[in-house]
Amino acid sequence: MKKTLFFLFILFTIVSCEKEDNDTNIVCTTDCTTISGHILTSGDLPLEGIKINLKYIERGFLYYHSWLKRETTTDANGYFSMSFNIKDDEVETYEAQYYSYFELKFDFNNLDPDKYFLSYYSISDSSYLFTVQPSLKQDTTYSISCYIPAKDYITVNLNNFKPVQGGDCFEVETFFPWGIKSEKEDNSNKFMNTEYGISSSGYDNFMAEDENQIFRVPVARNDTNIVRIIKMKNGIASPEDHKIFIPENNKIELTYEY
């Protein structure tokens, strides 16, 4: 009985220390901070109706307090914009048991997961909410854009896999642009020559288990992808990267020998 009461007390304490406020009705007239951006998919096509919200969050031990600053959706051209005031005490803090930050959330749940890569973990993740923590200041304008590629597939044949010792493997993994656009002066990712982040088909998802194996591997349509072939023979790894553009109506089939 005492344990039950103690558990209920802890649960009540946690719930009572969670608080959410809504500041979206506060109109910004002066010294506004503005976030605007563009959400695109493959072929530079806009994504309409993507929900976006910004929160200021304070966290501590058994403590959570958030303020919803603004929420909006992208228009027919994929654009969004939100202006708001940052209070003097809304600052980023990182201490031992307390920290505060801004959280910008993109909600892709209105998109078809069979048609788009909606999360960073492209294969197994079923959560289509993507968040970033921008560093924001008062009376400042920021540009935060996002790229969500269309999903396609290629056929990859991994042939003649004959492992000699434990740890030998034969694997294919794809990489493609995905996520937030960099606004830095040198804003290209050297690995793929893209202004955006990079996602992939995931590690250990397409590994040969038989001598000859066929995989249907996800790739970004109308974009340049990297097909990485990983061979581990006798404890020696030999990765190969192959850059390939995926057109509309692709029927690409690739074959690699172990």
Q: Could you give the maximum distance between any two Cα atoms of the chain, in Å?
A: 70
Q: Is the CA virtual torsion 72, 73, 76, 82 positive or negative?
A: positive
The string of DSSP letters for 97-131 reads SEEEEEEEEEE-TTS-TTTB--SSBTTT----EEE
- 258 residues of the chain, pLDDT tens digit each: 444 434 443 444 444 478 899 999 999 999 999 999 999 999 999 999 999 999 999 998 878 999 999 999 999 999 999 999 999 999 999 887 789 999 999 999 999 999 999 987 655 556 788 999 999 999 999 999 999 999 999 999 999 999 988 889 999 999 999 999 987 655 555 688 899 999 999 888 999 999 999 999 999 999 999 999 999 998 889 999 999 999 999 999 999 999
Which candidate, 233, 234, 225, places its Cα nearest to that of 252? 225
Name the residue among 131, 86, 78, 141 with its Cα closest to residue 104. Answer: 131
Q: What's the pLDDT score for residue 80?
A: 98
**Of 253, 256, 162, nearest in space to 211 by CA:** 162
Model pLDDT, residue 126: 60
Q: Give kind and range of the element (H or E) at residue 2.
A: helix 2-16
Q: What's the confidence (pLDDT) of residue 11?
A: 40
On the question of a common fold for 17-147 and 151-257, the answer reads yes
- What pLDDT sits at residue 186? 55
With respect to CATH, is domain 17-147 assigned 1.10.3720.10?
no
Decide: 150 and 231 in contact? Cβ < 8 Å: no
Question: Going by C-beta distance under 8 Å and a sequence separation of 6 or more, which residues neighbour residue 164?
Answer: 233, 234
Q: Which long-range contacts (CB under 8 A, 24 or more apart) does 184-192 make?
A: 191/226, 192/224, 192/226
Structure tokens at 228: 């990485």
Q: Which fold has domain 151-257?
A: Immunoglobulin-like (2.60.40)
- Residue 5's pLDDT is 39
Q: The tokens of 97 are what? A: 């048991």
Cα 230 from chain centroid (whole Å): 24
For residue 230, the tally of other CB atoms under 10 A from its CB is 16
The tokens for 205 are 């998802």
For residues 136 and 161, the answer to whether their CB atoms sit within 8 Å is no
Question: Residue ranges of the domains in the chain?
Answer: 17-147, 151-257
Which residues lie closer than 8 Å to 27 by C-beta, 6 or more apart? none
Q: Which amino acid is at 16?
A: S
